[in-house]
Amino acid sequence: MSLSRNRWISLSVVAGLAIGASTAAFAHVDVGVNIGVPGIAVAPAVVEAPPPPPVYVQPAPVYAPPPPAVVIAPGWYGDRYYDGRRYWERREWERHHDEWRDARGPHRDWHDNDWHDNGWHGHGHDH
């Protein structure tokens, strides 16, 4: 029995060495230098399309405030009177309006005649 036992042990040792030796036999270092030609690349055919038509955009509206209103009201401006049509010098204006004043009489206007209240209040000239 001992022979068969020794025999089994020796066979297992030989089998283990054989397995270890086979993996060591395949261990190697690979060094490769490859100078290759690139592969053939085929691109799709070039298709030239006409450029897109130009796009015309209406410019944005420009808003400006209206110019300021200039109003010159009738009245005296310094030593001149403006009646809506022209400027009058004081002497010129008085001479022009003397005719109008003379047509009504000396210093007579509607206040002097008391016609505006028809004497209703009885105030006379002291209002």
Please give the tally of structural domains in the chain.
1
Instruction: Order across the sheet with 75-77: list the strands.
Output: 75-77, 80-82, 87-89
Per the domain annotation, does 88 fall within a domain?
yes
Q: Residue 56 in 3-state DSSP?
A: coil
Per the domain annotation, does 100 fall within a domain?
yes
Residue 116: partners with Cβ closer than 8 Å, 6 or more residues away: 110
**Residue-wise pLDDT tens digits, 71-96:** 777 777 777 777 777 777 777 767 77
Question: Whole-model pTM?
Answer: 0.20
- Split at pLDDT 50, 70, 90, the class of 22 is low
Instruction: State which residues form the domain around 96.
Output: 75-104
